[in-house]
């Protein structure tokens, strides 16, 4: 190879590298400028179908740490340095504890579309302190008696008492968390405030719970509940709802959730900004995105577990784009819907125990499991 050809080749290579570098520069710079946004959350909320558009628009990567149950969430917050999590998605009943522990930041109400919320969800209990919100209501669902229709009909499921029927012996399952289970059994006992019990009513509740033990097949996590209900291993599971049966119904399983005559509970998930977050602007934008009509439809149809949503605009978009899902989730704009159940007084908020500690309720649940 001659000197001239070597020189020419070197020029071509250098020129090619320069062109390649110039072409790659925007993507490289975008990647170099990308920020991380951390969230402590129940599973499924960092699904690309939910967060992908936000990540692209804001050049951000969302890093999720998942938990199961509010007690685990509180423990994770307590052992993590302030600023570890930019966002916390929590069950609403735990917001008070997060606020009192200084784990979350106060929010500016004008930053969020509270006027678009249905009245039941504005100024939501346990979210506002001295006129300032510390969490924003994102999604909700009802808890009742979830059942396999081949093993338990809707007519049977109209009362929690059906779980004691001899034919369901060894066929009742439990989600392994004390709050929803004890809450629904408290409704069965006729307690209008199922989590605010004096010692006599608490003793009655633990007695009711223990009397159900011979009927119980097992205690399940998320995946276990899906399998047990789908297969008919269990007839029914109290204290869960469409967040489980909706996932199964999408796959064709003959399961549903009935709200018994004794009433049901409402679970609620809310978003907060973590104390001393270094990305509060992005965290605020993320909450705003999830409360937009687009974000509301995405969280309503979350693959991991569906939910109802609190905004009028979200309901309108869901009915427009997915009318069948709107009807299935009881969010039809025309005709009866989930709001009627709330307004009729058939739904109570799931809360933390008022007159006992969480430890007392958890200990009672542990004794029940080991009985």
Q: List the chain pLDDT tens, one digit each, 371 residues.
A: 544 444 444 454 445 444 444 455 555 545 668 999 999 999 999 999 999 999 999 999 999 999 988 989 999 999 999 999 999 999 999 999 999 999 999 999 999 999 999 999 999 999 999 999 999 999 999 999 999 999 999 999 999 999 999 999 999 999 999 999 999 999 999 999 999 999 999 999 999 999 999 999 999 999 999 999 999 999 999 999 999 999 999 999 999 999 999 999 999 999 999 999 999 999 999 999 999 999 999 999 999 999 999 999 999 999 999 999 999 999 999 999 999 999 999 999 999 999 999 999 999 999 999 99
Per-residue pLDDT, 25: 53
Q: How high is the pLDDT of residue 17? A: 44
Examine residue 273 and state whether it is found in any structural domain, yes or no.
no
- Supply the pLDDT for residue 33: 81
Task: Quote the pLDDT of residue 187.
Answer: 98
Look at residue 285 and tell me if it is in a domain: no
Find the CATH number of the domain harbouring 156. 3.40.190.10
Three-state secondary structure call for residue 220: strand
CB atoms within 10 A of CB 28: 11
pTM, 2 dp:
0.90
Q: Quick check: is 199 in a domain?
A: yes
- pLDDT for the residue numbered 256: 97
CA dihedral 293, 298, 300, 301 (to 10 degrees): 140
Domain assignment present for residue 242? The answer is yes
* Residue-level pLDDT at 7: 44
User: Would you give the DSSP letter of residue 168?
Assistant: G
Instruction: Assess if residue 136 is contained within a domain.
Output: no
- Cite the DSSP H helix spans in the chain: 3-32, 48-58, 70-78, 95-100, 178-188, 199-212, 222-231, 242-250, 280-291, 293-300, 312-321, 323-328, 338-343, 358-370
Residue span of the structural domain in which 366 resides:
141-266+349-370
The Cα 228–Cα 209 span in angstroms is 21
Q: Is 225 helix (H, G, I), strand (E, B) or coil?
A: helix
Q: Is residue 302 part of a domain?
A: no
**What is the number of structural domains in the chain?**
1
Q: What is the pLDDT of residue 5?
A: 44
The confidence score (pLDDT) of residue 166 equals 98
Give me the pLDDT at residue 28, please: 57
Positive or negative CA dihedral for 352, 69, 77, 291?
negative
Residue 322 lies in a domain: no
Predicted pLDDT of residue 6: 42
CA–CA dist 111, 102 (Å, integer): 21
Looking at residue 31, its pLDDT comes to 61
**Residue 75 domain flag:** no
């Amino acid at each position: 190879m001659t000197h001239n050809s070597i020189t020419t080749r070197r020029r071509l290579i250098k020129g090619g590298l320069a062109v390649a570098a110039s072409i790659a520069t925007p993507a490289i710079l975008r990647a170099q400028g990308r920020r991380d946004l951390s969230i402590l959350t129940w599973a499924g909320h960092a699904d690309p179908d939910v967060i992908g558009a936000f990540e692209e628009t804001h050049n951000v990567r969302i890093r999720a740490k998942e938990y199961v149950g509010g007690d685990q969430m509180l423990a994770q917050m307590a052992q993590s340095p302030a600023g570890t999590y930019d966002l916390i998605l929590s069950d609403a009943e735990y917001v008070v504890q997060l606020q009192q522990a200084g784990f979350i930041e106060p929010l500016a109400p004008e930053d969020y579309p509270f006027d678009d919320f249905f009245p039941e969800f504005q100024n939501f209990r346990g979210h506002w302190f001295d006129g300032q919100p510390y969490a924003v209501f994102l999604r909700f669902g009802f808890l009742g008696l979830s059942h396999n229709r081949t093993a338990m009909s809707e007519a049977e499921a109209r009362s929690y008492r059906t779980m004691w029927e001899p034919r369901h012996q060894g066929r009742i399952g439990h989600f392994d968390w004390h709050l929803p289970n004890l809450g629904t059994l408290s409704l069965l006992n006729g307690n209008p405030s199922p989590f605010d019990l004096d010692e006599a009513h608490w003793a009655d509740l633990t007695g009711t719970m223990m009397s159900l033990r011979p009927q119980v097949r097992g205690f399940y996590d998320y995946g276990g509940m899906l399998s047990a209900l789908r297969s008919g291993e269990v007839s029914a599971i109290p204290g869960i709802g469409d967040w489980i049966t909706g996932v199964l119904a999408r796959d064709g399983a003959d399961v549903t959730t009935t709200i018994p005559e004794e009433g049901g509970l409402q679970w609620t998930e809310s978003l907060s900004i973590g104390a001393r977050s270094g990305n509060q602007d992005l965290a605020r934008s993320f909450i705003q995105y999830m409360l937009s009509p687009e974000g509301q439809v995405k969280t309503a149809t979350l693959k991991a577990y569906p939910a109802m949503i609190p905004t009028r605009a979200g309901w309108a978009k869901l009915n427009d784009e997915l009318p069948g899902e709107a009807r299935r989730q009881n969010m039809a704009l025309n005709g009866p819907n989930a709001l009627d159940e709330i307004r009729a007084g058939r739904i109570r908020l799931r809360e933390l125990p008022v007159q006992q500690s969480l430890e007392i309720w958890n200990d009672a649940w542990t004794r029940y499991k080991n009985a």
